Structure 1
Amino acid sequence: MNEGLEKRYGLLTAVAMVVGIVIGSGVFFKAEKVLVATGGDLPTGILAWFLGGMVMVICAYNFAIMATKHEKVSGVVDYAEVLVGPKYGYFFAWFMATIYFPAMTSVVAWVSARYFGVLMGWSIVGPEVMVISGVFLVGSYVVNALAPKLAGMLQVTTTVAKLIPLFLMAIVGTIFGMKNGILMDNFTSGAIVEVTGNPLFTAVVGTCFAYEGWICATSINAELKDAKKNLPRALTFGTIFVVIVYIVYYVGLAGAVENEVMMAGGETGAKIAFSTVFTNAGGTLLFVFVVISCLGTLNGLMMANTRAFYAIAVRNEGPRPQVFRVVDEVTKMPTNSALLGVMMAMLWLAYFYGANLAPTPWFGAFCFDSSELPIITIYAMYIPIFAMQMAKEKEMPFFQRVIAPLFGILASGFMVLAAIISLGKAIIFYMILFAVVQAFGMALKTYGHNE
């Protein structure tokens, strides 16, 4: 056994991780939510996709700047530790390991199973889909824990595969909609359903899940060849590419079916759109690529999730660091960290079902959407990092030291404000849970050092 990670991944894997994790379940899962949130107002929906994308690009650009200077174990945790301080670095790492990574991974496992269930004609809240969710989750863990190089190759392959349905819908759907007039009708109809609250902010919060995941690419910086050059390139070009793809896909969907049909379709909305444009057989075949797309996102998230407790232990912090920083000599993977990571994801999968899918919610007031609130939290946690980037990185050019992090603070603050306005009381109960988990983590900060 040893405690060092192998430099196994190149630029292509890093770009595929950014694009492959971000593009996947969210663009299919949240496209209908954005449309519903805006009452079917297509221009407002496109604006929401653009604003959510700009938040991602601005934050990713700042982390790209940090990546040119700092390289240690886990990307964003390294930046939090160096710029804000070791305690904040641990606070951030514990959040990523216990809430962010496992919550995101569990939701994407269910979304992958959800679309597989749509193909099979199953209820998305039925036992079949929940069992398949667990199978997908464990299967992804096995691939990452036992064959990490295969996981890297899968990430590249699934990234290419998932672009097929997106680009086909973007191009063919737009042409289809221009010919039959659906696209123009959807653009000019305005809101077709009355909505409460602020539809733009609600829609932007909806896009946050679809755009999230790029930060996971920073988790492999210790395994990335020439990380100080390749990670910034992957973050910058990958995120810009994603924004373009999402917007053209969303427009293509608007050319496929009327807004009211898409809104009424629920989980089958995307399948209806694909079948309308490409016939039932073609739509079903392309929808298979949608499932592959979701599995690619799951693979990328699991890559990060399996390394989360290692990032804590390698700093000699958290519970039993001597156990969780061990790297297997054969697979070159932190196997103990990976096992704990998948166990956390299974717990969050059970929570997601009980809070969002069960006929009667299991957790009362503590039910919230674990696909969104952890993401809003991480944007709030970026703000101190950007602030200290302005204060400490004095040798950087003015734009990189002041302007870029200032925009990062504004972008992150915008996401937090949008969440507060659109989600209301759910944030209060989530923050109680967040505080309990973080307090428990701080109590464990030095546990096991001398064992």
Structure 2
Amino acid sequence: MQNGLEKKYGLLTAIAMVVGIVIGSGVFFKAEKVLVATGGDLPLGILSWFLGGLVMIVCAYNFAVMATRYEKVSGVVDYAEVMVGRKYGYYFAWFMATIYFPAMTSVVAWVAARYTAVLMGWDIAGPQAMNLAALYLVGSFTLNAVSPKLAGKFQITTTAAKLIPLGLMAVVGTIYGLKNGVMIQNFTSGAIVEVSGNPLFTAVVGTCFAYEGWICATSINAELKDAKKNLPRALVFGSIFVVLVYMLYYVGLAGAVENEIIMAGGETGAKIAFSTVFTEVGGTLLFVFVVISCLGTLNGLMLACTRGFYAMASRKEGPAPEIFNGVDKATNMPTNSAVMGLFMAAVWLTYFYGANLTDPWFGPFCFDSSELPIITIYLMYIPIFVMQMVKEKELPTFKRVIMPILGVAASLFMVVAAIVSLRTAIIFYLILFAAVMIVGACLKNYRNQS
């Protein structure tokens, strides 16, 4: 074992991580949820996609500014440490390694299996789908652990592949809908069912999973060539591109079939839309690209998940840093950290099944692990943005004051939206979150604390 990661990724890989992780499972997985949340009100749904994307762009811009100035081991963890302090950086890294990365990775593994199950005609929560989710999880880990460079090439390839169904639906679906009048009908019908609570906030919280993942690109900054230039470019360009693709796809989807069909279709809603526009055979073929898209997202998340414990160990913090700090000489991969990342993802996949896909195993502690960890990370961004205003005095006003303030406002918006839409589920999630952070405090290597 050695202790350093070499520079092996270029700008294209970084952009592919931002675009490839964000675009993929969420836009297909959450499109129907946004429609259901808004009662089928299409303009309100488009507004929710725009607001969720705006939050991502503002936050990504702020981290892009930090990326031009700081380059250490693990991107966002580095920024948390520099801006707020070493202790905060450690707890941020612990949260990312034990909750955020593995929770997101496990859900995407199931989403990839879910759409495979739709193609095969299986139950999306049945034994076939869950075994396939586990296989996808282990397969993605194997690719990243054995050949990180190949995993990077796979990320670029799947990013290109996943734009095919999105682009075709955006263009052809829009034309199809304008010709047959479905799009006009969907835009003018308003809400077709009554919804409780605040539909906009609920929908925006739904989009947060579809937009999440861009922060994972910062996890490879120690392995990115010319990171101070390439990482900011990837964050800004990638996030803006994602928002445009999502909104155009959502409009195209509205031209394919009536809103009530998408809402009633559940997991088959996207397949119905593709089959309607491109015929049954064409729809099935394009849906294969949807599965590939999900696997690309899984690959990018796994790439970040495998480096979670290494981010702490490289600072001589967290559990057994002497074990998780090792990097394999042959693959230049933090192998022990990768194994621990896979284990944490397996734990969260088990939780997701028990909490969301079957009769609840955990009583009141059942929550959607595809959403609440994301809300937590937005809350944890706030101290970073505040200290950016305090410390970065040499930056111009726009970068030092205006954008960080917008970052705080965007993060608070997501937190408030979650509180309004998810209510009591947040309380039980926060209890679990607190328990995990207490474990992190007990395992912190205080001997190396400065």
Using structure 2 for the length normalisation, give the TM-score.
Answer: 0.99
For 1:366, the aligned partner's letter is F
5 Å-filtered alignment, 1:12-411, equals 12-358=12-358, 360-411=359-410
In the alignment, the residues of structure 2 paired with residue 412 and residue 89 of structure 1 have an alpha-carbon distance, to the nearest angstrom, of: 18
Could you tell me which amino acid in structure 1 is paired with residue 150 of structure 2?
Answer: L
Q: Distance in 1 between matches of 2:194 and 2:448?
A: 58
Range with bigger deviation, 440-449 or 181-190:
440-449
Distance of 1:253 and 1:447 partners within structure 2 = 53
List gaps (5 residues or longer) in structure 2. Answer: none
Q: Deviations over 1:267-325 (max 9, x none)?
A: 00000000000000000000000000000000000000000000000000011100000
Aligned-partner residue type, residue 93 of structure 2: A
User: Partners in 1 of 2:300 and 2:447 — Cα distance?
Assistant: 30
Separation in structure 1 between the aligned mates of residue 109 and residue 326 of structure 2, nearest angstrom: 27
Deviation track 1:89-146 (CA, whole Å, cap 9, x = no partner) reads 0010000000000000000000000000000000101000000000000000000011
Deviation of the 1:446 alpha carbon:
1.2
Find the counterpart in structure 2 of residue 436 from structure 1.
Answer: 435
CA distance in 1, matches of 2:26, 2:202: 15
- The alignment-based identity, stated in percent, is 76
Query: Deviations 1:199-232 (Å, cap 9, x if unpaired)?
Result: 0000000000000000000000000000000000
Q: Deviations over 1:400-422 (max 9, x none)?
A: 00001000000000000000000
Measure the CA separation in 1 of the matches of 2:204 and 2:38. Answer: 10
Rounded Cα–Cα distance in structure 1 between residues aligned with 2:74 and 2:403: 22
- CA–CA distance in structure 1, aligned partners of residues 222 and 318 of structure 2: 20
The Cα shift of 1:443 comes to: 1.0
Return the letter of the residue paired with 2:435: V
**Structure 1 residues 126 and 217 mapped into 2: Cα distance closer, same or farther (>3 Å)?**
same
Is the CA contact 1:319–1:447 (under 8 Å) kept in the aligned structure 2?
no
Contact 1:74 1:221 in 2 (8 A): yes
* Structure 2 letter corresponding to 1:446: N
Q: Quick one: which amino acid aligns to residue 308 of structure 2?
A: A
Residue aligned with 2:74, SS: coil
- Secondary structure of the residue that 1:7 maps to in structure 2? coil
Contact 1:49 1:204 survives alignment (8 Å): yes
Aligned residue type for 1:369: D
Partner AA of 2:260 in structure 1: E
Query: 2:6 aligned with 1:2, yes or no?
Result: no
The CA distance in 2 between the partners of 1:149 and 1:64, in whole Å, is 24
Aligned-pair Cα RMSD in Å? 0.9
After TM superposition, the runs of 4+ consecutive aligned structure 1 residues lying more than 6 A away are 447-450
Secondary structure at 1:394's aligned position in 2? coil
Aligned residue for 2:367, secondary structure, equals: coil
**SS of 1:265 mapped into structure 2:** helix
For structure 1, the 5+ residue unaligned runs are: none
Q: Provide closer, same or farther for how the CA distance between residues 449 and 392 of structure 1 changes in structure 2, counting only shifts above 3 A.
A: closer
Mapped to 2, the partners of 1:313 and 1:279 lie a distance apart of 52
Cα offsets for 1:135-177 (capped at 9, x unmatched): 0000000000111000000000000000000000000000000
The alignment of Structure 1 onto Structure 2 pairs a total of residues equal to 449
Please give the alpha-carbon distance, in whole angstroms, between the structure 1 residues aligned to 2:170 and 2:362: 40
Q: In structure 2, how many angstroms separate the alpha carbons of the residues matched to 1:419 and 1:309?
A: 28
Counterparts of 1:138 and 1:448, CA distance in 2: 35
Paired with 2:307 and 2:347, the residues of 1 have a C-alpha distance of 17
**Displacement after TM superposition at 1:448 (Å):** 8.6
Q: Distance between the aligned counterparts of 1:307 and 1:367, measured in 2?
A: 27
Which amino acid counterpart does residue 434 of structure 2 have in structure 1?
Answer: A
TM-score (norm 1): 0.99
Q: Distance in 2 between matches of 1:296 and 1:273?
A: 22
Aligned partners of 1:28, 1:157: CA distance in 2, in Å? 19
Matched position secondary structure for 1:30: helix
Q: CA deviation at 1:449?
A: 6.7
Deviation at 1:447? 6.8
Matched-pair contact (CA < 8 Å) for 1:138–1:342: yes
